[in-house]
Amino acid sequence: MSLGGGGGDSQLQQVAQEIEQIEEEKQAVENEIQSLRNQKTEIDEAIEAIETLESGSTVQVPVGGDAYVRAEIADIDEVVVSLGGGYAAERDQDGSIDTLETKKDTLDDRIDELQSTIAELESESEQLEQQAQQMQQQQMQQMMQQQQQQGDDE
Does domain 2-153 fall under CATH 1.10.287.370? My reply is yes
Rounded alpha-carbon distances, angstroms, from residue 102 to 7, 36, 76, 96, 109: 55, 14, 20, 10, 11
- E strands of 54-104, at which residues? 58-64, 67-72, 79-84, 87-91
How confident is the model at residue 2, as a pLDDT? 36
Q: What is the pLDDT of residue 149?
A: 83
Q: What amino acid is encoded at 120 in this protein?
A: E
| Neighbour count for residue 47 (Cβ, 10 Å) | 18
Binned at pLDDT 50, 70 and 90, residue 116 comes out as: very high
Q: Is the pLDDT of residue 102 over 90?
A: yes
- Confidence band (pLDDT; 50, 70, 90) for 20? very high
- pTM value is 0.75
Task: Give the model's confidence band at 91: pLDDT under 50 very low, under 70 low, under 90 confident, else very high.
Answer: very high
As a 3-state breakdown, the chain gives helix, strand, coil percent values, each rounded to 5, of 75, 15, 10
Return the ∠ at Cα 126 (arms to 125 and 130), rounded to 5°: 115
